[in-house]
Structure 1
Amino acid sequence: MTRRLQYPDAARELGIEESWLRRHIKRLPHSKLGRVVYFTDEDLARIDAQFHHEPGAEAKASPTSAPSATKAHPMGHLVPLPARRTARA
C-alpha cells in the first residue's frame, strides 16, 4: 500500500519546513483528495531530486561554468529616459 503523507509528515521526511511545502505547492508533485493535499513516496523522491542542493556544489564546478566578469548584462544596453519638463504657468 502506498503511503499518503500530509504536510507535516512530508516536511519531516524531506527535512524541511512545512511552510516551504505550502508556499511551493503549485510547483511540487502532489495529489489531492477533496481539499486534503497529500504526498506519496514517489512525490517525495521527485521533490528531493528536483530541489536537492549539496552545500559547496558551486565550488566544485568547473571554472568555465562560472560567470565571466567581461560578459555584458543582457539588459545593459538600456538607458534611462530623459527627465520630463514640467509645465510652467
Structure 2
Amino acid sequence: MNRRFTYPEAAAELRVEETWLRRHIKKLPHSKKGRVVTFSAEDLDRIDAMHHHDPAVARPVAATASDAVATLRPLPRRGGAARIA
C-alpha cells in the first residue's frame, strides 16, 4: 500500500506552512475519508508541479521609459499646516 501523508507531513515534504495547505485544499489533489484528509506521494508531486516556477524560462523584465513603474511619481505630502517659506 502507498504511503499516505497527513497535513503536517505533507507540509514538511512540500516545504510550505500547514495553514497554506488547509486554505487551498479545495484546489489541491488529496484524498478524504470522513474528516481525515491525506495526500499520496503522487498528490504531492502534482501539487509541486502545479506551483513550480522556473525563473530561467521567464523572460526578463527590462525597465524602459514607457514602463508603467518608471512613470510613477510620489503623492503630494499630507498635512494640515501650510508651509511658510
TM-score range with shorter-chain normalisation?
A: 0.5 to 0.7
Among the aligned pairs, what percent are the same residue? 64
What is the aligned partner in structure 2 of residue 7 from structure 1? 7
5+ residue gaps, structure 2, are: 68-85
Structure 1 residue ranges (4+ consecutive) displaced by more than 2 angstroms after TM superposition: 59-63
| SS of match in other structure, 1:39 | strand
Query: Deviations 1:7-33 (Å, cap 9, x if unpaired)?
Result: 000000001100000000000000001
TM-score, L = length of structure 2: 0.65
Which has the larger share of helix?
1
Root-mean-square deviation (CA, aligned residues, Å) is: 2.4
Which has the larger share of strand?
2
What is the aligned partner in structure 2 of residue 61 from structure 1? 58
5+ residue gaps, structure 1, are: 71-89
Amino acid in structure 1 at the alignment position of 2:48: D
